[in-house]
Amino acid sequence: MGVIRKITAHLLSRLRRNANLGRAARSEYAPCPFADFAERFGMPAVRDQDGPRTMEFDFGFIRTSALVDWTGNSRPIRNQISETIRDWNQACLRNPLVDTIFRHEVAVLEPGKVDVAGDRVYWLPIQESLLPPLERLPAGAHLMLGVLYIGAIDGEPIWLINCWERVTLQRV
């Protein structure tokens, strides 16, 4: 019974924290580096490599912002990611436009965050209308991304890019 109460308390606190996130204004994207997301929101950081593939949806509409560097790389969205977005949309939003909005992923680096392979590269689905202006920027441009967390596949978070802004970093 204690476990159920703990889970219920966790879900209620997340619902309260995200209760006002129904409309997407840039001010509603709480700053949170991608590398710190799992710890901050209580998500599993990585999956058990020997375990079965898992897919988790999140209906809390967690919006975060993160400072990243644009790599200049984009690609068509991977099938598994596209299917996850479709399934999340059917379970949560039921918006027929969502399936056509996310057709590409872009690669970004999180400054100062390194994994075992070097800099941490994130491939994130982006709204189609946001891609052409982004592709005109030079690689290495600093961006503030506004993203929506929709869930994870095998412990790898899926963030949808809903807005971005080029920023200039000031040296102190």
At residue 8, the pLDDT reads 36
| Tokens encoding 109 | 């680096």
At residue 70, the pLDDT reads 95
Alpha helices (runs of H) in 2-146, residue ranges in sequence order: 2-17, 34-41, 79-92, 98-101, 131-135
Ordered domains of the chain (ranges, CATH):
2-166 (2.40.50)
For 1-20, letters b (16+ CB in 10 Å) and e give eeeeeeeeeeeeebeeebee
- What is this structure's pTM? 0.72
Q: What is the pLDDT along the chain (172 residues), one digit of tens a residue?
A: 333 333 333 433 443 344 333 334 445 777 777 777 766 665 554 445 555 555 566 666 788 888 899 999 999 999 989 988 888 888 877 788 887 899 999 999 987 765 555 567 889 999 999 999 999 999 999 999 999 888 888 777 889 999 999 988 776 5
For residues 143 and 133, give the distance between their C-alpha atoms in angstroms, rounded to a whole number: 12
At residue 40, the pLDDT reads 67
At residue 27, the pLDDT reads 53
At residue 113, the pLDDT reads 64
Query: Could you tell me if 70 and 134 are in contact, meaning their C-beta atoms sit under 8 angstroms apart?
Result: yes
Residue 91 CB neighbours (<10 A): 11
State the burial class of residue 67 (Cβ atoms within 10 Å of its Cβ: 0-12, 13-18, 19+).
Answer: middle
At residue 115, the pLDDT reads 53
At residue 136, the pLDDT reads 96
For residues 164 and 167, give the distance between their C-alpha atoms in angstroms, rounded to a whole number: 9
At residue 108, the pLDDT reads 94
3 three-class SS: helix
Helices first, then strands: H and E counts in the chain: 5, 6
